[in-house]
């Protein structure tokens, strides 16, 4: 049986965002999906890693899931 955290860690950011209904491809430049004020297409994804150049933050798919769920570890 696959653990829940493996389902997040074993995918790339684009796959995770698609599971939330955000249609993107790896390498796309988009508005940061976790910020309502994002408008500069400064968010990039490369496999399990992402970078929000406008805010100077980056991380892995788990950290993105936490941001998307407002820090709620259970929901992420």
Two structure tokens written together for 19: 């599971």
How many H-runs (helices) and E-runs (strands) does the chain carry?
3, 4
pLDDT (tens digit per residue) in 4-46 = 555 556 689 999 999 999 999 999 999 999 999 999 999 999 9
Q: What is the pTM of this model?
A: 0.83
Q: How far apart are CA 7 and CA 10, in angstroms?
A: 6
Q: How far apart are CA 25 and CA 50, in angstroms?
A: 12
Residue showing tokens 């430049």: 29
pLDDT (tens digit per residue) in 49-60 = 999 999 999 999
Q: How far apart are CA 56 and CA 23, in angstroms?
A: 24
Residue 1 has a pLDDT of: 45
């Amino acid at each position: 049986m696959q653990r829940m955290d493996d389902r997040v860690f074993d995918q790339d950011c684009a796959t995770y965002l698609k599971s939330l209904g955000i249609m993107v491809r790896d390498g796309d430049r988009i508005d940061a999906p976790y910020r309502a004020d994002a408008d500069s297409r400064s968010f990039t994804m490369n496999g399990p890693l992402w970078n929000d150049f406008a805010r100077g933050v980056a991380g892995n798919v788990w950290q993105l899931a936490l941001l998307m769920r407002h820090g709620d570890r259970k929901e992420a």
